[in-house]
Structure formats: structure tokens, C-alpha cells
Amino acid sequence: MFDQKRIVLGVTGGIAAYKAVALTSKLTQAGATVKVIMTNGAQQFVTPLSFQAVSKQPVYLDTFKEVSASHIQHIELADWADAFVVAPATANIIGKYANGIADDMLSTTLLATEAPIYIAPAMNVHMYQHQAVQANLKTLSERGCQIIEPDVGYLAEGYVGKGRLAEPEAIFNYLADAFKRRSLLQGKKVLISAGPTKEKIDPVRFFTNHSSGKMGYALAEAAAKLGAMVTLISGPVQLDTPKDVKRIDVTSAEEMYQAMLAHYHDQDIVIKSAAVADYRPVKTYDQKLKKQPGMLQIELERTRDILKELGKQKEQQYLVGFAAETDQIKEYGKAKLIEKNLDAIVINDISLPGAGFGTDTNEVHLITKTGMEEKIALTSKQAIAEQLLHFIIKEIGVD
């Protein structure tokens, strides 16, 4: 799992820093290239030479001591990493990273990287239990950091409790499992639609809905992190394109229909999470409609049903639909699952607080053609995306 992997290891000032030398050795022997960043505190416990000797790589100590005039070293390291591990992670570095503080080589590189981040806390049991530390760890976890839990045992100052750095072998195995998970969709093609559509009335007016695209973008990001080749068909949203995702922008329901069908046939997994308009104006205007006395009537016609068409043309694809409902959500969801020849449907009750359009959280029911039903309680859309993809992975039989 580690062959040719590039790992940045941040080492902070705790007695457990000596374990980081053993971790560096194990990762290097397994085929990884490990570049170590040491804080000033870490250097009070272990020398940079120890890490250099086992990693055969330079050790980074100071933000302002640039190795090369052609590169900014903390940016270069941040971009280089396939994974970023902090072990041991003191309360200090956890607090810095949770609050966006960048005042040394390690903290600046952490804030600059887009690599997956793994935090292995190590500290006194009372420090670890402090509400500030726990709040910071919760913040980091919600942002997608993986927390490698400390062990319970004898601590340096004589206490017995939770706070010991996980053993190097345990951290090694945790990282190996993480790399394995990140390759679960390697070689698979995933097509996702996201966001609203806009149906033109005239040059200044249109019909649309409240979809922000956040759920679809979270799914695209999560699929890419699992190694998939992701194509994202996006309606008009104010969101950045996730890393390693091919994005195609559309505006209307018809444009989304054409884009989805054009990319559909060679896909392995297709998730239609976009909130596509069901109706559009029969007549549109090239000039702005002027205000007139009395009422204005606009005749509407049905747009083409993208999900139903995808169901008709389904071959090898695992097809997932989304349904936003306000009542009888399971009944409507199961009917849609059958009617549109889906493999799974994700239903959310948009009348619930914190769920549905525009929020950063959601609560959903997943129902599959095989009869599996799963409720995912209110949590972040990123967490829901990860859970949904792992359900799909089980359904399609990926090891």
C-alpha cells in the first residue's frame, strides 16, 4: 500500500517524538518516501539527524530557511504530499490547526496542503480530556481530518489514562487501511449531477429552485478521494470544483439532459442529485417583458425526465436517484425507485430543520433495489456523501 507514496510527517514536542522515528523507518521500509517537519519542541526530544538517517530525506525545521531559491518549501511540501501525518500531535498544534494559526514550518504547511490529514494526539490525560482540546479535535474531524485515537496506558508524568501516542505499528496499519480505502473506486467512472437548473423567461428572469449543489459536490469530492474518475454535471452554483473532478457547467434542464446522456454509457456509477426543473416556459422572450396592468400568465410545459431516461437506457451502470420530499417520504421514494428503474434512491425530508436545500447538513433515507433500507441521521453533507458511497461500494461488490 505504501509503494511510491509520498508522506509528510509532522513531529511536535512531546516525549512520544521518539516513536515517530520508528514510524518513519516502518513507512520508508514499506516503500514510502517520508519527509519530516519538526517543530522546535520536537527537537528538544529527538534530533533531526535521527529522521534524516532513517528516511534518507532532508528534515524541515524553519519556514524561513529556504532550501532552494526557486521554490517556497512549505508550499512545495504541501503540494507534494499524498498524505500528511502529525504524530505526535500536541494540544498546541491541534489548537493551531483548528483555528487557522500558521506561525512555524509545520502549521504553515498544514494549512497549505490539500492532502488527506491524519492527526495522532499525544498528551497528558487531563489535557486530552480538556474541553478545548476535545472541541478542537471535533472541529478537525468535521473538516475531514482523520483522528488516530491515543492509547490508554502509563504516561510520562506517572498518570495512567488516555493520552499515549498510538504505537508506530498501529499508526502504520491505520495509514495502510486509509490508502486501501482511497483506492476502492480506482478505475471506476462516476457521473454525478448537482445543483439547480434555470429556465429562461426573458433576459432578466427565470424559474429555478433553492438547490445549492452542496450535496452533489460533496459526493463528487468523496468519489474522487476514493480513486474514481469523476465527471460532475453542474447547474449554476457558487461552489469550487472539487480536486481531481472534471466539471461540466450547464444551465437549463435540457442542457443537463443532453450532458448526462452524452456521458452516461461508459459509466460505472451514476448519481443524479441535481434538482432539475420539472417545468419550463412554453414561450421565452429575447427582450425584457415590460410591466403591464393586471395579471401575467406564463404557460409551462414539462421538461424531459432525465432520471427516467437514464433508467430506460441502463446497462452496467449502478443508478442512484435523489428525491426531495415533504411528506410520506418512504412511499414516494419506493415508488420512484421502481418507476424509474433505479438501483437505489436517496430521500430527504426537506421540511426538517437542517436538512435539504442550502444547508451544510442533511438527513437522508437510502433505499436500494435489493431491499436494503438505511437512515443516515443529521450530519454534514460530506459525511453523508462518504457513507452513501460506501453503501454503493458494498452493493456493487468492490472489495
Integer Cα distance of 135 and 202 in angstroms = 50
List the single range of 96-105, 306-315, 330-339 with lowest mean pLDDT. 330-339
pLDDT at 56 over 90: yes
CB under 8 Å to 188, separation ≥6 — which residues? 227, 228, 229, 268, 269, 398
6-181 shares its CATH topology with 189-396? yes
- The pLDDT tens digits of the residues spanning 292-323 come to 899 989 999 999 999 999 999 999 999 999 98
pLDDT at 70 over 70: no
pLDDT at 213 over 60: yes
pLDDT at 331 over 60: yes
Write down the catalytic residue from 92, 124, 173, 209: 209
Identify the band that residue 153 occupies on the pLDDT scale cut at 50, 70 and 90: confident
Give the Cβ contact number of residue 43 at 10 Å: 15
pLDDT at 205 over 70: yes
Of 179, 147, 181, whose CA–CA distance to 166 is shortest?
A: 147
The type of residue at 44 is: Q
pTM of the model: 0.75
List the single range of 7-21, 238-252, 266-280, 357-371 with lowest mean pLDDT. 357-371
Mean pLDDT of the chain: 93
List the single range of 32-46, 158-172, 241-255 with lowest mean pLDDT. 158-172
H or E element, residue 78: helix 73-80
CB under 8 Å to 353, separation ≥6 — which residues? none
Domain residue ranges of the chain, discontinuous segments joined by +: 6-181, 189-396
pLDDT at 69 over 70: no
Verify whether residue 92 is a known catalytic residue.
no
| Residue-level pLDDT at 328 | 81
> Is 279 within 8 Å of 302 (Cβ atoms)?
yes
- The pLDDT tens digits of the residues spanning 5-45 come to 999 999 999 999 999 999 999 999 999 999 999 999 999 99
Of 340, 342, 337, whose CA–CA distance to 318 is shortest?
A: 342
Of 29, 36, 51, 179, whose CA–CA distance to 116 is shortest?
A: 179
| Residue-level pLDDT at 349 | 81
The residue written with cell numbers 519556514 in the block is: 63
| Residue-level pLDDT at 339 | 95
Task: Name the CATH code of domain 189-396 (choices 1.10.10.10, 3.40.50.10300, 1.10.3720.10, 3.20.20.70).
Answer: 3.40.50.10300
Q: What does the radius of gyration of the chain's CA atoms come to, in whole angstroms? A: 25
Quick check: helix, strand or coil at residue 357? coil
Domain 6-181: CATH architecture, name and number where available: 3-Layer(aba) Sandwich (3.40)
Distance of CA 167 to the CA centre of its chain: 27
Mean pLDDT of the 251-261 span: 97
pLDDT at 131 over 80: yes
Mean pLDDT of the 87-107 span: 97
146: which 3 cell numbers? 482523520
H or E element, residue 341: none
pLDDT at 73 over 90: no
| Residue-level pLDDT at 276 | 96
Identify the band that residue 169 occupies on the pLDDT scale cut at 50, 70 and 90: very high
Burial 66-78 (b: 16+ CB within 10 A, else e): eeeeeeebbebbb
The type of residue at 75 is: I
pLDDT at 66 over 80: no
| Residue-level pLDDT at 97 | 97
Identify the band that residue 195 occupies on the pLDDT scale cut at 50, 70 and 90: very high
pLDDT at 332 over 70: yes
pLDDT at 399 over 60: no
DSSP annotation of 42 reads: G
pLDDT at 156 over 80: no
Identify the band that residue 330 occupies on the pLDDT scale cut at 50, 70 and 90: confident
Mean pLDDT of the 347-356 span: 81
Identify the band that residue 267 occupies on the pLDDT scale cut at 50, 70 and 90: very high
